[in-house]
Amino acid sequence: MLDSTMFRVTSSPHIRSGETTQRVMLDVIIALMPALFAGVFYFGMNVIMVTLVAIVSAVGAEIAMQKVMKRPVTINDLSAVVTGLLLAFNVPSTAPWWLVAIGSIFAIAIVKHCFGGLGHNFMNPALAARAMLLASWPVRMTSSAFLAPGVDAVSAATPLALLKEGVAGQALPSIWNMFIGNIGGCIGETSALALLIGGLYLIYRGVISIRIPLVYIGTVGILAFIIGGFSPYYAVYHILAGGLFLGAFFMATDYASSPMTAKGQIAMGIGAGILTVLIRFFGAYPEGVSYSILLMNVATPLIDRYTMPKKFGEVKKSA
C-alpha cells in the first residue's frame, strides 16, 4: 500500500477518446486511395511520380517552415501528406516535377504556415496552390496538358472544355466513362466512382458529414438541369464532370476552411453549387469547382458566425 504518496491531480474528464488528428488524416489518406489507383490505371505510372513529388515536397516544406518558425515539427499528424496528395490530384499527369513541387511548397509554406499552421488556413491549401499554378502556368495546367486515358499519350480535353468550346474530332464522353473516370482531366478528379467510394468511407468513419457533398452536388445537378433546358442528361453530365466529386467530398469539407455547424455546412454546399454553375455556364473558364470552393472558404467565418446553433434552453430576449 502506498503510504504518503501524493497522487496526480487534474481536472475532469479523466479519460479521452481514441480519436486523434493523425487518425482523422489517415482516414482521409485511405479514402483517397481508390482515386489514386484510378489515376494510375488511366494515366499511367507518371501519376506515382507526380504524387510522390507532391507529398515529399509538402512534408519537406512543413519541416522547413516549422524549423524556421521554431515550432514543434508535427509531420506525424499526416496533414501535410493529405495536402500533398490532394495537390497531386489537382494537376495533370503530364505536370513536370518542379511544377508539382512549387505547388506543394506554396500550399504548405504560404497558405498553411503563414496563417498559423494546421487548422488556421483560411483556404484549402491544395486548392489555393492549384489556383496559383493555373494562373502562373496556364498551358501546363489546362487543355493540351490533359491526356486521354490509355497508353497512347494523346492529349484530350476535359468533358467541360468539350462542352464549352468543342474540339474538332472529339465527341462528348459517355456518362458511363465519366462515372468510372475514363476521360481526360487531372490525376485524381476523373473517376467519380473511386471518389464516391472514398467519400462514403469518410462519412462511415464519421470524419465528414454528408451535408456539404450532398447539398453541393445536388445544387449543381438541379441548376444544370434547369439551365440546361430540363435535360436529365445535362444534369448528370455536369455532376460527373470537372472534378465535382473530388471537390465536394474532399476539398469543400476541409475542416479549417469550411463551416462547422449543420446549417453552415448546408449554406456552404448551396453557395459552392451556385458559384460552380455560374462559372461553368457564364464564366470564361470551363471548370468552376476550385474557384467556387475557394470563394466559399473566404466566406466561412461569416457563415459560421450567422449559423451559430441555438443553445439549449435559449429564451427569447424580450425587446
| Residue numbers at the binding site for other proteins (CB under 8 A) | 1-2, 5-17, 19-21, 23-24, 74, 77, 79, 117-120, 207, 255-256, 260-261, 308-315
Distance CA 126, CA 246 (A): 12
CA distance 12 to 16: 10
Least distance in Å: CB of 309 to other proteins? 4
Cell triple for residue 183? 476521360
User: Please, which residues have CB within 8 angstroms of residue 269's CB and are 6 or more apart in sequence?
Assistant: 211, 212, 213, 214, 215, 216, 218, 219, 248, 252
Q: How far is the CB of 6 from other proteins (least distance, A)?
A: 5
Residue whose CB is less far from other proteins, 1 or 168: 1
Q: How far is the CB of 126 from other proteins (least distance, A)?
A: 16
Of 276, 159, 283, residue with least CA distance to 215: 276
Integer Cα distance of 81 and 156 in angstroms: 29
For other proteins, the closer of residues 3 and 152 by Cβ is 3
State in angstroms the smallest separation of the CB of 290 from other proteins: 21
Which residue, 15 or 171, is less far from other proteins as judged by CB? Answer: 15
Kindly tell me which of 74 and 170 has the beta carbon lying closer to other proteins.
74
Smallest distance from other proteins to CB 289, Å: 22
In the bound state with other proteins, the residue whose beta carbon lies nearer, of 67 and 120, is 120
The answer to whether 98 and 49 are in contact (CB under 8 A) is no
